Amino acid sequence: MIELDKGADNQELSIDLTALIDIIFILLVFLMLTANTQLLALPVDVPTSGGEQAQVLAPKPNISVNVMAKAPYWAIDGHSYAAFSDFSAEVARRLTVEPELEVIVAADKQAEVQLLLQLLAMLQAHKISQTQILMEP
């Protein structure tokens, strides 16, 4: 009878399945990623546009404050002021008469930064914390 040596040669006769398992794993991942899944969604009643007119929002009242590059440096809604004290008093008067006014600051890009900082300090002194600053896009 023929006998095999049960020593180190026995390990060489076994099949190495590592490469085969790697390929099967890669194929499994590929098939899972490319499989079409059914998208589940809940039915939603979407509102339709009826014959009603859309309501137009009324623009909020505002005050436009300008800082110019040349004298007179200050303006409110197109009316110029030579002195900052007159300008500040007019802003304070308008805001006490109509406290719901939104302040829009439009500063010339050539104007000095000090003038804009002076304006913002005055607005802060009058407890105006929200202003809009106009900029070119």
Task: Kindly report, residue by residue over 68-82, the tens digit of the pLDDT.
Answer: 988 889 999 989 999
CB 130 within 8 A of CB 95: no
Q: Give the mean model confidence (pLDDT) for residues 51-73.
A: 80
CB 110 within 8 A of CB 103: no
Per-residue pLDDT at 136 exceeds 80: no
Output 49 or 27, whichever has higher pLDDT.
27
10 Å CB burial of residue 63 (0-12, 13-18, 19+) is middle
Q: Write down all domains in the chain, each with its CATH number in brackets.
A: 62-133 (3.30.420.270)
d(CA 20, CA 84): 85
| Single-letter amino acid, residue 50 | G
d(CA 58, CA 102): 14
Position 1 scores a pLDDT of: 59
